Amino acid sequence: MFRFLPFPRRPGHRIVYIEGISLSAQSTGYASSLFRHYERFFHDLGFHRFRLKASLSVGKYYWAKEGFDCADRKQFGEMRENLQALVRGLHLPVEEQEIRRLNHASTVAAFRRDLLIPVYRNPDGYYATVRDASHTEEFRFPLGKAFLLCSDPWDGYKVIYTDTPRRTGLVWSERFLDHETRPGHPESPKRMEALLAAIREEGLRESLIFLEPYIPAMESLHAVHDPAYLESFREAASRGDRHFAVRDCAISEGSYGAALLAAGGVMAGIDAVFSDRSDNVFCAVRPPGHHAGRSSAMGFCFVNNVAAGARYARSAYGVERIYILDWDVHHGNGTQALFEEDPLTFFCSLHEHPSFCYPGTGRRLERGKGPGLGGTLNVPLAPHAGDREMIEAFEREVVPSIDAFRPELILLSAGFDAHRDDPIAGLECTEDAYIHMTRRVLELADRHCEGRVVSVLEGGYRTESLVSSAIAHIKTLQGREGSPCSSARG
Amino acid sequence: MFVGPRMKRDLVTVTPGATLEAAARLLTAHRIHHLPVVEEGNRLVGIVSDTDLRRATLDGMFGGADSGDSGRPLRVEEIMTRELVTLSPGDTLDDAMLVLSRQRIGALPVVEGDRLVGIVTKADILTALLSTLDIEGLGVRIEVVLRRDVKEVARLAAALADQDVEVRSLVLALHGADGYAAFVRVATIDVASVRDRLRGKGFAVGELSDFYEGG
């Protein structure tokens, strides 16, 4: 293994010309050191970020690994198509879905390391996938690496952030607006529009790493939902039904696609934290998911996004111990039901007490079932409880349970409807509670799982409080908000 | 609501000649508190509870009662309750609740003639109540205070029907001198809107503070 050397900073000691890097010198680590140096340098000068742009004709695999991505999405789309064509031409055992979920050049670079394919090098050091007069020297490389080495030149860019201690990803797509609900319905596309507008106004767009959601493979959803249930949801939406299963669950033609994409959004977030594209992720998805059970839609939820993400993390990345924390004001009954027998997925919900609040589940005595007994923690709060009660309960019960469980990944069902301005239920929290809990979750994630936190939007129905709470949450994920704090305030 | 459909039919019983130890083991193994004592043909002759067993054991230890020739293990028939309060399957759950509450006992054997056919315990009554009120079902409860006039109840039902909201249970209770309290369990997440619309139609929808006092 090659260890990156720190870039030598003594003036006149050594000069590196970026454009002078030749293929044979690629793995010396200078470019990487240079980035780190620039990062420090610009940060000290007071710059918040800098963007490197390059026309990449050589070292495309290397640059992709370094975090360079296609400058425009169309070009990336072509890259995916070319990869698809290569796979087809060689009859490789690769699912179309696997390619569809690639969303960054770095994920292409790391693609299917297990599949070696032949490539041919010419005397100048360029590679091709077919042997010809000049490309004669044969090598066998992993699929993604081979593909990039042989790809056409592309315009790449890399943004380096120097103002946030953590790199936070944002999953978002316009297609989440395709899920339309009847007039007056609380879970309206306006929630999402307002949130995105605020992200723009707050200048967060530039410091967040945008992650594209994808439509997940149906098999990965079947790990959570009954196929017949999903099919009847699809039919209801395409038939033009105005609601599905219950009146609360208003739908439109676009609801099925949006719901699938929301689950795929969480998967894209999980891809990002495991491929190290970001430290943590906020998934601004809708429709929400935590009430959805194996075959039941309720409480504005159709597909259980967080649950689908947890199952995906397990199957795609071999994550064993997953902690799901749900601080939506309503009990996450769907998620609980899906994992109550699973000892390796801990589910913890903070919510308004079920005697006063929908859906009427989530009592303390619900602690899991069978082998999962003890793997469910419900912390109901009395009506009118505010920041003090929320934070106290969080410190007293949630923090020790995360420490005891030692998760490899933390998923958040982040609803913001426990806010005092939210009309849907009776808790009276403010942004402070969300900031506190977010910061503590990050600390615990640092301790147990290299900071891997994927946060998924659930409820929050008053636009102003949803937006201010979610923005505070995102800024805290980036490590910006608030002062260090390690215990409950009295 | 009759006793027959609600009573427990798969019974754990004991014979009069069984030892206390055997009875105690049965209680522990099945996590129950009462054993009907039956002779051949399921003829009910008594009932023995964990309290009876405990008392007999304590008496044996501290010499409270004359337990006869010491060293001989006590038998169930020596400590069981013989004056039994029983129900028949045709009695109502109201009967069962009243007896359980007034006589402060935990379980009632159900007999046809002198043959044991079932048992009703306090826990069974609680289960029946939970399911009647749909307390474990999905939904949330709204409390509405009404004038004691059944027309007001009808108006409430109509207001709920207008909202097309699914009602899971509705309990009407006397409230104060001239009112009703209606406890409506509705299956919707948007209960705030339901409350608002009811208030808009002039209903007094309970606030939490209304229920802190008393009780």
Tell me, yes or no, if A425 comes closer than 8 A to chain B by beta carbon. yes
pLDDT higher than threshold 50 for residue A485: no
pLDDT at A11: 38
| Cβ contact A404:A380 at 8 Å | no
Reported confidence tier of residue A22, pLDDT bands at 50, 70, 90: very low
Residues 6+ apart with CB under 8 A from A413: A289, A290, A306, A324, A325, A326, A327, A328, A332, A335, A349, A456, A458
Residues 6+ apart with CB under 8 A from A85: none
| Cross-strand bridge partners of residue A298 | A301
pLDDT at A43: 65
Least confident range of A63-77, A464-478, B75-89: A63-77
Least confident range of A324-333, A387-396, A441-450, B66-75: B66-75
Tell me, yes or no, if B45 comes closer than 8 A to chain A by beta carbon. no
pLDDT at A486: 36
Residue A476: its H or E element: helix A463-477
| Cβ contact A289:A301 at 8 Å | yes
pLDDT higher than threshold 80 for residue A114: yes
Pairwise pLDDT comparison (A23 vs A350), residue with the higher score:
A350
Residues 6+ apart with CB under 8 A from B108: B85, B86, B87, B96, B99, B100, B119, B120, B121
pLDDT at B63: 66
Residue A266: its H or E element: helix A255-274
Tell me, yes or no, if B207 comes closer than 8 A to chain A by beta carbon. no
Chain B environment of A298 (Cβ under 8 Å): 138, 189
B141/A186 Cβ within 8 A: no
Nearest to A230 by CA among A205, A190, A210, A257: A257
pLDDT higher than threshold 70 for residue A20: no
Pairwise pLDDT comparison (A14 vs B38), residue with the higher score:
B38
Tell me, yes or no, if B200 comes closer than 8 A to chain A by beta carbon. no
Tell me, yes or no, if A227 comes closer than 8 A to chain B by beta carbon. no
Chain A environment of B191 (Cβ under 8 Å): 357-358, 424
Q: How many residues does chain A have?
A: 490
Tell me, yes or no, if A182 comes closer than 8 A to chain B by beta carbon. no
Alpha-carbon gap, residue A450 to A418, rounded angstroms: 29
Mean pLDDT across chain A: 88
Burial of A284 (0-12, 13-18, 19+ CB in 10 A): buried
Helical ranges in A12-57 per DSSP H: 30-45
Strands B140-147 and B107-112: unpaired
Q: What number is the average pLDDT over the span A391-420?
A: 96
Nearest to B168 by CA among B158, B160, B176: B160
Residues 295-354 of chain A whose Cβ lies under 8 A from any Cβ of chain B: 298-300, 330, 333
Tell me, yes or no, if A458 comes closer than 8 A to chain B by beta carbon. no
What are the angstrom distances between the C-alpha of B58 and each of A304, A374, B16, B51, B102?
Answer: 56, 36, 21, 11, 27
pLDDT at B211: 59
- 3-class SS letters over chain B: CEHHHHCECCCCCECCCCEHHHHHHHHHHHCCCEEEEEEHHHEEEEEEEHHHHHHHHHHHHHCCCCCCCCCCCCEHHHHCECCCCCECCCCEHHHHHHHHHHCCCCEEEEEECCEEEEEEEHHHHHHHHHHHHCCCCCCEEEEEEEECCHHHHHHHHHHHHHCCCCEEEEEEEEECCCEEEEEEEECCCCHHHHHHHHHHCCCEECCHHHHCCCC
Reported confidence tier of residue A3, pLDDT bands at 50, 70, 90: very low
> Minimal Cα–Cα distance from A338 to chain B, Å?
16
Classify residue A29 as left (phi > 0), alpha (psi -120 to 50) or beta. Answer: left
pLDDT at A98: 87
Chain A environment of B138 (Cβ under 8 Å): 298, 333, 358-361
pLDDT at A207: 84
Report how far Cα A369 is from the mean position of its chain's Cα atoms.
29
Reported confidence tier of residue A116, pLDDT bands at 50, 70, 90: very high
pLDDT at B73: 83
B191/A360 Cβ within 8 A: no
Residues of chain B short of pLDDT 50, as ranges, are 214-215
B111-157 per-position pLDDT tens digit: 999 899 999 999 989 988 888 888 888 889 899 999 999 999 999 99
Reported confidence tier of residue A482, pLDDT bands at 50, 70, 90: low
B189/A424 Cβ within 8 A: yes
A193-214 per-position pLDDT tens digit: 999 999 999 888 878 999 999 9
| Residue in B with minimal Cα distance to A459 | B189
| Cβ contact B124:B10 at 8 Å | no
pLDDT higher than threshold 80 for residue A16: no
pLDDT at A157: 81
Reported confidence tier of residue A163, pLDDT bands at 50, 70, 90: low
pLDDT at B65: 53
Least confident range of A45-54, A246-255, A265-274, B191-200: A45-54
Q: Choose among B138, B164, B208: nearest Cβ to A360.
A: B138
Alpha-carbon gap, residue A421 to A354, rounded angstroms: 20
- For the beta carbon of residue B25, count every other beta carbon within 10 angstroms: 12
Q: Any catalytic annotation for residue A291?
A: yes
pLDDT higher than threshold 70 for residue A475: yes
pLDDT higher than threshold 80 for residue A147: yes
pLDDT at A490: 29
A424/B190 Cβ within 8 A: yes
Catalytic residue among A179, A291, A351, A353: A291
pLDDT at B214: 45
- Answer yes or no: is the ipTM higher than 0.95: no
